[in-house]
Chains A and B, each alone.
Chain A
Amino acid sequence: IDLSSQVVRTVVSLKVENNGPDSASEILLPFPEHVAKNLAFLEASVSEGKGKTKGSSDSLPIKVVNPEGMPATLSWYSVALPKELGKGGNLNLEVKAVYSHILRPFPEKITQADIQLVAFQDGAHYLSPYAVKVQSLTVKLPEPKVESYTKLGNTKFSGSEIKYGPYENLPPFSYSPIVVHYVSNNPFAVARNLVREIEISHWGNVQITENYDLVHAGAEIKGEFSRLDYQTRPHVRGASAFRNLLAKLPPRAHSIYYRDEIGNISTSNVYSDSAKTLLEIEPRYPMFGGWRTAFTIGYGLPLRDFLFQSEGKRFLNISFGCPMSDVVVENLTVKIVLPEGSNDISVSVPFPVKQSQETKFSHLDMVGRPVIVLEKINSVPEHNQYFQVYYRFSNISLLTEPLMLIFGFFLFFVACVIYTHADLTISKSSASYLAKLQWDEVQSTIQQFQSIMNRSLIVHDKLEASLRDLSRTGDVQACKAARKAADTLLKELAKEVKPLLSFLQSSSQAAQIFPKVEELVAKERELQEKLMLKHSTVVDAYEKKSSGGRDIENRVASVQQKITLLRQEVDDLLEIIDEI
């Protein structure tokens, strides 16, 4: 019997011999009622060979039976043997049982400075419906400190072990109670509820969220809690409290968080290597007996480590229990959230669990994700075994959600486009609507007008350029031709302007702009005239070759100045109109 933690582990090595005439195919294991209800885990296996290579063999199937003629105050389990045991045959069996909640703190309430004492009750003799030839019992304690223990014949206390026996030739159902009252300052961390949610995302992540509802189930604290005492000598004035818990997570765990209802808890550490990730968490306050806390840890795991494929089905292979080695879980709920659209789901768990199914809605779900709910009462670290969930899932459904998003945004943009292009005016005949229409028309007219003006300005530029060419080459004819071309162009433009002007004049909306437009037209005409004047003067001068360049310049200087001025004004006007 191993009492070194809050769970009691018993390992029974049996050498079974069939003395009877018939061959036996099963062995009965009885447990007293009060122990049986705390029995969390039971496993029997055949230890082959000479006892050293045991454990590797498969565990034998165990079922609850109710054999006739046996005392009803006992709970019976039956182990089916791998092969029938004939007369005189024998077999080495190993039965491992784990109990939780059978250690009783005594006294039940202690002060901050007291150490925690617990009592353990059991029989010194192995309880069995069969006759026992030789039996011995070893009780392992966490510390070599014992308050008291039952002394029977052949009892030996050494170190942190108490030995009873060996006893020989015990009849069936022999019983000899013992009580061990000893010091145990181990954390009695009990999770009243633990909900583990394992969510599979086929984008490459397995997200695990664990909600703990934790209590220190040891002796309750009474009286004051003095921080000062606890701070100065934490191991003396707070021996029964535990400060931290260690969770052993799979390797490559990432995005680890540790928080509770009111936010992040900053006291945690992560150590990781290639074989595991260790998460050390510290509750917000030291946990004394009877104090409770609640928190959530979460982490992500790479999908490829846990999801495999076989025979066209996918299966998830992940551990069942709580990752903390010294926490007993009273109600463990494991929820496996499969991706939306999974079907053909089956589960294989190595021990009996209660199974049900529900649906969860997460991001962008239409029909919800199938959730397998597995419930297990009284879970101990031994339950931390791998289990499998098989399901079918097509890769195409992976794309539904991004496509939905894309489609959503597409619709949004389409709606925007429609909104900007559609005319949503209710009353098409209202004054303001008509005014707006008219205003649009005026605007487009003005744009045309502006373009014409700019074109004529470009013509002006061409004229100037032809003058420069003239001064360089002296080609009077070409210059004249340029003037002619420009002249016709300008006339055409003037013709184009006329309808626009008359429209603007007639439109009431343009009343504000029209004076400017008119001014611009006038200025432009003036500019045009001056330019022509300058052009003809210069050309004339060249034709006559009467005077030098300086003379020409002098003659056009006054015109030139006016042109510059006008040009400036025209530009300004254009800009003003543009701004309107």
Chain B
Amino acid sequence: MVATKMEKPAADLLTSPGVSSLFKSLKLKTKQQELLIRVAILCLVYVLAFITRLFSVLRYESMIHEFDPYFNYRVTQYLTRNGFYEFWNWFDSESWYPLGRIVGGTLYPGLMVTAAFIYWTLRFLSFAVHIREVCVLTAPFFASNTTIVAYFFGKELWDSGAGLVAAVLIAICPGYISRSVAGSYDNEGVAIFALLLTFYLFVKAVNTGSLAWALASAFGYFYMVSAWGGYVFIINLIPLYVIVLLIRFVGFQHVQSGEHMAAMGVFFLMQLPPIVAYMKAGIGRREWLLPVQINLLSGFLVVSLFASLPCLLKNFSEVSHSVINMPSISTLVQVFYFLDWVKFLLNDPKKFHTFLRITVTSAVALGAIALGVGTASGFISPWTGRFYSLLDPTYAKDHIPIIASVSEHQPTAWSSFMFDFHILLFLFPAGLYFCFKRLSDATIFIVMYGLTSMYFAGVMVRLILVATPAVCLISAIAVSATIKNLTQLVRAKSKPAPVGSGKGTTSTKAPSKGYYGKVLAGFILVWSQKLVSEFSAKPLKLDLENGFNGLLTSPFVGKINTKQVNEDRSISEKNENTSINMDNKGSLDQSPPFQKNGAIALLFGAFFLLSRYVIHCTWVTSEAYSSPSIVLAARGAHGNRVIFDDYREAYFWLRQNTPPDAKVMSWWDYGYQITAMGNRTVIVDNNTWNNTHIATVGRAMSSYEDEAYEIMRSLDVDYVLVVFGGVTGYSSDDINKFLWMVRIGGGVFPVIKEPDYLVNGEYRVDKGAAPKMLNCLMYKLSYYRFGELTTEYGKPPGYDRARGVEIGNKDIKLEHLEEAFTTSNWIRKMIHRGSIHRSGLGMAARKTTGDTTQEAFDFKQLLNQDGWSNLLQFALHYNCNATTNFCGVLL
């Protein structure tokens, strides 16, 4: 568009005589060049964002990772095989035996429908792709699209330079990559795209006041709701944003403008669908709601139609959250309007105040009563634990072990912020400064988004993901603004040469026009300034401070590092006299000396920082986030690559060699994988909707064998699957997770008491372990015949490599169960896998062993890398592995 607009004048100019036309045409070229470079960079970023996520495909294979994605993959397969309506009505009897699960109604279908849609499109274009390939590459594809959205968002917030930087930053930001590498086929993969798109379109709608953008934003929101539980964030953030605007402008003129009405109008409409859906849920009991519903619907049929669909899919407790959270804030906004209207009607401040007092009191009272009655009668379901834990990080730990047992629900450590954001962590406050400095509707929005999401990221590790786009955008503003300032400085310096200015301007203009500097170079921070000044000679330092405080970023400096600045100030004050003198003496626009050099040095510093960021991101992606966790790889003694594929060995054995209707009991972590890869019915899986059922499994695992046998018989269990890492040293095995089983089991069945399994509050498996521990089912299954095995040279038989102790009960006899299959891994002395099969009733337990050395491997890798943050990263990474693992509870 820009290019075409420019062509016409260019043609005019070419006809006009003289040098000036040449000059002019040259100048036009730089503009076109700028466009070209921008498009080229965007394309590169698009491609690179995709490519950088392919490490796991190249290292391992094109496969689905982790736990949840296997469920998504299975659902997508079902969808593509059986079509949309079958999928909608799918009752899955293979999970949660004997309860089953209504899959179509209890999941967020956005991801699966998207993948299926891509698959069908490709098929239609006659590309014979496999659905697995589509699923594996969906997340990287959407990550690429996210970069484009980030560009436009940045452009909308600040300028196109900031947009470009934002695109680059978000393309490789580890916080986002962690959930969007090839193979991590999870809701978040598309949800972040949808989130950013919704926000972008919303901001666009606010800026332009166009109803089309608002509608588009509503559609974006619709997509988001269909894809991820995180939509609650949007629906709460936007009313909050509106409130802030109201407070900021203390009055209604501003928000009453058509622009805001258009943007907000659609979002107000958005509240209706949840209400409608909620009412529909209650219709059976409350017919009187029907007319109300019809009234509400009449105006907003179109919007509610598309928006209510996803909400209906959700279980209704989620709907009621939206009803409570979001409207409570946004109705407040409407109350503002209403008050304004009343004020207008009443005309008398006194009357108005009385009116206000009465209505507010009665409204509060009514609301409180309604809420109380609703909650008591169970009409409004209470918030789920995960929402409580968002507001109070310690809540889950005390009350809901099943949430606390998931490592990604832990509060975030500083190291993981550093790991996932790297320099963005420092750029974020700087960017906030710039936003505050140029407050507009758009920047207020991004500031709100950044601050709230940062809070949530601090509460839960996995929510770093939500904060990532905001952090990238705000940091991009910081980078772009600073570099712009610096390049201006460089340019301004070159201008004062008064003679031959014609040529001078041409040459200096060219670099100033494009954004090359901005794009290539990066960013400056106070500490880079400090760094540069420390390394440079003293006069230069003085000068730098001068230049900065006087001309550029002094408030910025002041904000970030007051102490440093105070020093600077004193120095610069001293110098002020001289510089003023200089100004008087020399030409007026003469800047302090060395300013240009300083700016160039800072540009280099920025470049250095940004390249460090790139290096860090690539390293993190390749080392930490590209492992499928199904297959483990390690280096053998001779540097060869050793693959441990025990999980799939076990699942495939189950798939091929057990009766098709066999029921498998395992801890819930492996549920999705067993159904997807083993194709067998499981008792519990990663959709942790029924705590009691999980607790029953936990109870079985922590009981004596005969008691456990009774439980298993009542659940019709044929096989038991146990993951054991004692042979290879794989630390995230069932023995390490066992305390959670005890806790969750004990939470429902008081028979199970945690202290029974501990000795002096200590969890042990060796000779000093508690007797109940040594004889519970989990212990027996894991260590069955382990006492005969020598795992490590120089250690007694039965030495557990994962925990580094010799086990306490070496003579384990199984009465009811028998070993059916144990996976193998001959490379290390290894794995013993037991499977247990009970004669007569066909009970069997089977234990697979993953293996590891993974931890040790990581540690070595990390030590090889330089830098302090890496050790922290290791700490984080280790934590992630050790505590438990990724569960796939929908937020």
Chain A residues with CB under 8 Å of chain B are: 223-228, 230-231, 259-266, 284-286, 290-294, 361-366, 420-421, 440, 443-444, 447-448, 450-451, 454-455, 457-458, 460-461, 464, 561, 564-565, 567-568, 571, 575
Min C-beta distance of A363 to chain B, whole Å: 5
6 closest Cβ contacts across the A-B interface?
Answer: A227-B822, A455-B20, A447-B9, A461-B502, A564-B498, A264-B61
Determine the chain A residues whose CB is within 8 A of the CB of B5 once the complex forms.
440, 443
B114-148 residues at the A interface, CB under 8 angstroms: 126-128
Q: How far is the CA of A263 from the CA of B16 in the complex (A)?
A: 68
A231 lies within 8 A of B824 (CB): yes
Determine the chain B residues whose CB is within 8 A of the CB of A567 once the complex forms.
498, 501
Q: Which of A231, A364, A421, A568 contacts B589 (CB 8 A)?
A: A568
Q: Which of A261, A361, A457 contacts B126 (CB 8 A)?
A: A361
Q: How far is the CA of A157 from the CA of B877 in the complex (A)?
A: 68
Min C-beta distance of B542 to chain A, whole Å: 26
A231 lies within 8 A of B788 (CB): no
Q: Which of B128, B499, B587, B648 contacts A363 (CB 8 A)?
A: B128
Contact with A along B12-54 (1 / 0, CB 8 A): 1100101111011000000000000000000000000000000
What would 17 A/B residue contacts be, using CB atoms closer than 8 Å? A226-B834, A227-B823, A228-B788, A228-B822, A230-B824, A231-B826, A262-B651, A263-B631, A264-B60, A266-B643, A285-B652, A363-B127, A364-B127, A443-B5, A448-B12, A455-B18, A568-B589
Q: Among the listed stretches B165-173, B424-432, B813-821, which one makes contact with chain A, having 4 or more residues with CB under 8 Å of it?
A: B813-821
Min C-beta distance of A504 to chain B, whole Å: 15
Chain B residue at smallest Cβ distance from A455: B20
Q: How far is the CA of A262 from the CA of B501 in the complex (A)?
A: 70
Residue B298 CB within 8 A of the other chain: no
Q: A227-B832, A451-B16 are in contact. List 12 more A-B contacts (CB 8 A).
A: A225-B835, A227-B821, A227-B824, A227-B831, A228-B788, A261-B655, A264-B60, A266-B643, A266-B645, A440-B5, A458-B23, A461-B500
B645 lies within 8 A of A284 (CB): yes
Q: How far is the CA of A272 from the CA of B422 in the complex (A)?
A: 48
B63 lies within 8 A of A225 (CB): no
B818 lies within 8 A of A291 (CB): no
Q: How far is the CA of A286 from the CA of B499 in the complex (A)?
A: 87
Residue B247 CB within 8 A of the other chain: no
Min C-beta distance of B835 to chain A, whole Å: 7
B63 lies within 8 A of A293 (CB): no
Determine the chain A residues whose CB is within 8 A of the CB of B648 once the complex forms.
262-263, 284
Determine the chain A residues whose CB is within 8 A of the CB of B836 once the complex forms.
224
Contact with A along B672-708 (1 / 0, CB 8 A): 0000010000000000000000000000000000000
Determine the chain A residues whose CB is within 8 A of the CB of B127 once the complex forms.
363-364
Min C-beta distance of A111 to chain B, whole Å: 12
Determine the chain A residues whose CB is within 8 A of the CB of B4 once the complex forms.
420-421
B656 lies within 8 A of A227 (CB): no
Determine the chain A residues whose CB is within 8 A of the CB of B225 once the complex forms.
none
Number of residue pairs A-B, CB distance < 8 angstroms: 139
Q: Which of A293, A363, A458 contacts B652 (CB 8 A)?
A: A293
Determine the chain B residues whose CB is within 8 A of the CB of A461 once the complex forms.
500-502
Chain B residue at smallest Cβ distance from A452: B20
B502 lies within 8 A of A366 (CB): no
A285 lies within 8 A of B823 (CB): yes
Residue B518 CB within 8 A of the other chain: no
Chain B residue at smallest Cβ distance from A440: B5
Q: Which of A265, A361, A444, A447 contacts B128 (CB 8 A)?
A: A361
Determine the chain A residues whose CB is within 8 A of the CB of B588 once the complex forms.
565
**Given that A227-B831, A262-B652, A285-B823 are contacting pairs, would A571 and B495 also be in contact in the complex, using a CB cutoff of 8 Å?**
yes
Q: Which of B60, B501, B657, B833 contacts A571 (CB 8 A)?
A: B501
Determine the chain A residues whose CB is within 8 A of the CB of B833 once the complex forms.
227
Determine the chain A residues whose CB is within 8 A of the CB of B834 once the complex forms.
226-227
Determine the chain A residues whose CB is within 8 A of the CB of B20 once the complex forms.
451, 454-455, 458
Q: How far is the CA of A228 from the CA of B789 in the complex (A)?
A: 7
Chain A residue at smallest Cβ distance from B829: A231
Q: Which of B18, B512, B645, B657 contacts A292 (CB 8 A)?
A: B657
Q: Which of A291, A440, A565 contacts B656 (CB 8 A)?
A: A291
Q: How far is the CA of A263 from the CA of B509 in the complex (A)?
A: 57
B126 lies within 8 A of A291 (CB): no
Residue B837 CB within 8 A of the other chain: yes
Min C-beta distance of A296 to chain B, whole Å: 12
Determine the chain B residues whose CB is within 8 A of the CB of A460 once the complex forms.
502
Residue B649 CB within 8 A of the other chain: yes
B501 lies within 8 A of A285 (CB): no
Determine the chain A residues whose CB is within 8 A of the CB of B651 once the complex forms.
262
Q: How far is the CA of A284 from the CA of B651 in the complex (A)?
A: 10
Determine the chain B residues whose CB is within 8 A of the CB of A561 once the complex forms.
587
Q: Which of A225, A260, A261, A292 contacts B822 (CB 8 A)?
A: A225
Q: How far is the CA of A153 from the CA of B206 in the complex (A)?
A: 105
Chain A residue at smallest Cβ distance from B833: A227
**Given that A227-B824, A266-B643, A461-B502 are contacting pairs, would A420 and B23 also be in contact in the complex, using a CB cutoff of 8 Å?**
no
Residue B785 CB within 8 A of the other chain: yes
A226 lies within 8 A of B785 (CB): yes
Q: How far is the CA of A575 from the CA of B495 in the complex (A)?
A: 13
Q: How far is the CA of A224 from the CA of B18 in the complex (A)?
A: 96
B126 lies within 8 A of A293 (CB): no
Residue B8 CB within 8 A of the other chain: yes
Q: How far is the CA of A458 from the CA of B835 in the complex (A)?
A: 91
Min C-beta distance of B721 to chain A, whole Å: 14
Q: Which of A224, A362, A451 contacts B819 (CB 8 A)?
A: A224
Chain A residue at smallest Cβ distance from B831: A227
B823 lies within 8 A of A292 (CB): no
Q: How far is the CA of A364 from the CA of B836 in the complex (A)?
A: 51
Min C-beta distance of B43 to chain A, whole Å: 14
A571 lies within 8 A of B505 (CB): yes
Residue B157 CB within 8 A of the other chain: no
Residue B830 CB within 8 A of the other chain: yes
Chain A residue at smallest Cβ distance from B630: A263
Residue B358 CB within 8 A of the other chain: no
Q: Which of A366, A420, A564 contacts B1 (CB 8 A)?
A: A420
Q: How far is the CA of A450 from the CA of B20 in the complex (A)?
A: 10
Chain A residue at smallest Cβ distance from B836: A224
B126 lies within 8 A of A365 (CB): yes
Q: How far is the CA of A262 from the CA of B830 in the complex (A)?
A: 24
B489-513 residues at the A interface, CB under 8 angstroms: 495-496, 498-502, 505, 509, 512
Q: Which of B16, B24, B656 contacts A294 (CB 8 A)?
A: B656
Residue B653 CB within 8 A of the other chain: yes
A225 lies within 8 A of B652 (CB): no
B587 lies within 8 A of A564 (CB): yes
Determine the chain B residues whose CB is within 8 A of the CB of A363 once the complex forms.
126-128
Chain B residue at smallest Cβ distance from A561: B587
Determine the chain A residues whose CB is within 8 A of the CB of B820 once the complex forms.
224-225
Min C-beta distance of A576 to chain B, whole Å: 12
**Given that A226-B819, A227-B822, A260-B652 are contacting pairs, would A366 and B126 also be in contact in the complex, using a CB cutoff of 8 Å?**
yes
B823 lies within 8 A of A263 (CB): no
Min C-beta distance of B311 to chain A, whole Å: 33
Min C-beta distance of A225 to chain B, whole Å: 6
Q: How far is the CA of A366 from the CA of B125 in the complex (A)?
A: 10
Min C-beta distance of A561 to chain B, whole Å: 8
Chain B residue at smallest Cβ distance from A234: B826
Chain A residue at smallest Cβ distance from B839: A223
A451 lies within 8 A of B126 (CB): no
Q: How far is the CA of A460 from the CA of B499 in the complex (A)?
A: 12
Chain B residue at smallest Cβ distance from A447: B9
Chain A residue at smallest Cβ distance from B18: A455
Q: How far is the CA of A580 from the CA of B822 in the complex (A)?
A: 72
Chain A residue at smallest Cβ distance from B824: A227
Query: Which of B4, B16, B502, B587 gathers most chain A CB within 10 Å?
Result: B502
B460-508 residues at the A interface, CB under 8 angstroms: 495-496, 498-502, 505
B649 lies within 8 A of A285 (CB): yes
Q: Which of B126, B501, B785 contacts A364 (CB 8 A)?
A: B126
**Given that A262-B648, A451-B16, A571-B495 are contacting pairs, would A228 and B821 also be in contact in the complex, using a CB cutoff of 8 Å?**
no
Min C-beta distance of A96 to chain B, whole Å: 35
